[in-house]
Amino acid sequence: MVLNIAAYHFVAIDDPRALADALHARAAAAGLRGTLLVAPEGLNLFLAGAPTALRGFLDQLRADPRFATLKAKQSHSATVPFARLKAKVKPEIITFGHAGTAPLGRGRAPAVSPHDLARWLDQGCDDAGRPVVLLDTRNQEEVGHGSFVGALTLPITDFTQLPDALAPHRPALAGATVVSFCTGGVRCEKAALWMGDTGMANVLQLEGGILGYFEQVGGRHYDGACFVFDQRVALRPDLSPVAAQD
């Protein structure tokens, strides 16, 4: 059985190229495949391999104080869903194009846990009695595989288009608690910070994204599967791959 992880971590990195090269060498030595994205604002990882080897890689990464609190979403597959191992250096770990939307020196965006979100959806409001609007920050292709029931989805093909696409909806969201969500958390964290910076109140991110929700809650209030960035194509709420069985 192959272990798959998706993880991101915002932290200042002085020499992204050196870190990318070091992590690539370490992952290659462990027989891992996938993608390592390194930027001045942090890391974004999608890796797969033998469970012992991948967990050892994560343990070694967390031994670095910068990454001690890195969290990884886990799933399993019969085969490695990546063709090779790649390490990339980019300006952002996910391109958004709005300065100040990485939580460096300012703290993370407020978050709601998967269990609390499921409870809010069960009761039809948050704990303050406000209606809850789920905002899907992913693109149309990803949304096509599944999303939360009743979520606000936007006609975008790229994350950078989200601000313009959201603009017509902002007045209607004024009295609601808006929970942004994405696959693993990195886009909804940036989106939540940007929304707060641009005057929206009561904005939260879904802690751990859809994959974290699947791990903790399953498929309650979710319709379909979650697109992932590898050969499995999408994962069901039980984290089984759609491509391998359909």
User: Strand, coil or helix: what is 98?
Assistant: coil
What angle in degrees, to the nearest 10, is found between the helix axes of 51-62 and 16-29? 150
Task: Verify whether residue 125 is a known catalytic residue.
Answer: no
Q: What are the C-alpha distances in Å from 171 to residues 126, 174, 176, 191?
A: 19, 6, 10, 17
Q: 128, exposed or middle or buried, with CB in 10 Å at 0-12, 13-18, 19+?
A: exposed
User: Do 198 and 209 meet the contact criterion of CB atoms below 8 Å apart?
Assistant: no
Of the candidates 166, 185, 191, the one whose C-alpha atom is nearest the C-alpha of residue 117 is: 185
List, by residue number, the catalytic residues: 182
